Structure 1
Amino acid sequence: MPGGRLSHQERRAIAAGLSDGLGYAEIARQLDRPTSTISREVARNGGGRGYRADHAHYATSSRARRGRRQTPQAPNDTDEYAERFAAVMVDGGIPRMAARVLARLYTAESRSLTAAQLVNALQVSPASISKAIGYLEQVGMLHREPDPRRRLQHYVMAEDVWQQAWKSSSRTNLNWAETAAEGAELFGPDSPAGRRLAQMADFFGALGDDMSGGPGFDILDDALTVLAAYREGGRVIEADRVAAVLGWPVDRVKTALELAAATRLTPEQRADLATAAE
């Protein structure tokens, strides 16, 4: 019937018609099929001289089975959210495929995913996943863990993933500032190029310093250092005591505590910070 899948008998009729020298239109008329159906069938399966009915039938059945295996599942709410989440990260400057991988890791039920799981979830090639993983490893946002039972690599998102992203952005801005400053010196401060590059160096230098807490002062590392030193012998110690242990000004310790308090902490850690801030 017109529009349905060609049967084995119809394919034999096509082969017979080609052997008798009939054109596509005449074969189509005899089978009550569109001419385009006949022409596509012959073109996909060896052409007018190489068409074989049995081979065409089994090859088409094989393609149909592969297509059913590879048909992706309809997206659910979780999939749609992961893609929207990835789109937000792309707007923030993360490469698209790296953002999609990171969104899947964030929304996965397990703490890690394999390359095969990511390929299946995102319906992309293994090469695309490998490139995205390489980028995320380079900026410290995930790492690999070998499977103890199989020859697989599990990709695990870093616990401090957004701190790593922040520090990477800070380093990038400072690198831009340094390169622009070199250019300003090369072209000279009175040249148009030198003035533009000097302005760029000032802007990205200030931005990088702000993101890292000021020259030589990494506020994120400060927060982690304070949290690590915050308990002594199982008990909470005061901010001035932490400052004395670390050799820091008390204000620096309090600033780090404020940043740490703004992160995702356990109730016990929040209680500790509240005690120290008093």
Structure 2
Amino acid sequence: MLAALLFADTDSVTAPELAEGLGISSGSVSGAIKMLSTVGLIERVPASGSRREHYRLRDGAWAILMSAQNGMVQAMFEAADQGIAAAVADTPAARRLAEMRDFYGFMFRELPALVERWQAERSRR
């Protein structure tokens, strides 16, 4: 579905157009639309002269997606931290969980700055 939106020759497409073009059910399209909307990649847009809902890839979708990932990154960090508290110290499990916690802590701190740098670079273009 994401590929269909990326390669569409029009600014927006309807759910029936997506279903027909991809050869999938309207239920599958509906589920994909919900998921892609939830993570901020696509949006519903008005289309003059049409009663159907139209969808398109959002401007800045990739930065929105990465910004939204902070919640998932924070959850993974917290899960690792809780795992460390439950694991026996100085075991392979504790070391793996510490690496996981450190990685996600790093990502949580760095992602916002990366998104800001991307947005600044994009606005200079």
TM-score, structure 1 normalization: 0.40
Q: What per-residue deviation string (whole Å, max 9, x for no partner) do you get for residues 26-82 of structure 1? A: xxxxxxxxxxxxxxxxxxxxxxxxxxxxxxxxxxxxxxxxxxxxxxxxxxxxxxxxx
Deviation, structure 1 residue 150: 4.9
Question: 2:69 matched to which residue of 1?
Answer: 169
Per-residue deviation at 1:112?
Answer: 1.0
Secondary structure, aligned partner of 2:59: coil
Question: 1:201: how far off?
Answer: 0.8
Whole-Å separation in 1 of the counterparts to 2:28 and 2:58: 21
Distance in 1, matches of 2:64 and 2:119, equals: 15
Relative contact order (C-alpha < 8 Å, sep 6+): which is higher? 2
Contact 1:139 1:165 in 2 (8 A): yes
Q: Which runs of 5+ in 2 are unaligned?
A: none
CA distances 1:85-116 after superposition (whole Å, capped 9, x unpaired): xxxxxxxxxxxxxxxx2222222232211001
Partner of 2:60: 160
Separation in structure 2 between the aligned mates of residue 261 and residue 194 of structure 1, nearest angstrom: 39
Would the aligned equivalents of 1:115 and 1:126 in 2 still touch at CA under 8 Å? Answer: yes
Q: What residue is the counterpart of 1:180 in the other structure? A: 80
Alignment of 1:97-116 (within 5 A): 101-116=1-16
How much is the aligned-residue C-alpha RMSD, in angstroms?
2.4
Q: 2:41 aligns with which of 141, 160, 172?
A: 141
The letter for the 2-side match of 1:202 is D
Relative distance call for 1:260 and 1:150 in structure 2 (3 A) is closer
How does 1:173-212 map onto structure 2 within 5 Å? Answer: 173-212=73-112
Bigger Rg, structure 1 or 2:
1
Taking the aligned partners of 1:192 and 1:204, their CA distance within structure 2 comes to 18
Q: What is the CA distance between 1:189 and its match in structure 2?
A: 3.1
The alignment covers a number of residue pairs equal to: 125
- Tell me, in whole angstroms, the C-alpha distance in 1 between the residues paired with 2:75 and 2:38: 16
Of all paired residues, the percent bearing the same amino acid is 31
* One of 253, 258, 262 as aligned partner of 2:121: 262
SS, match of residue 10 in structure 2: coil
1:184, distance to aligned residue in structure 2 (A): 0.7
State the Cα distance separating 1:179 from its structure 2 match.
0.9
SS, match of residue 143 in structure 1: strand
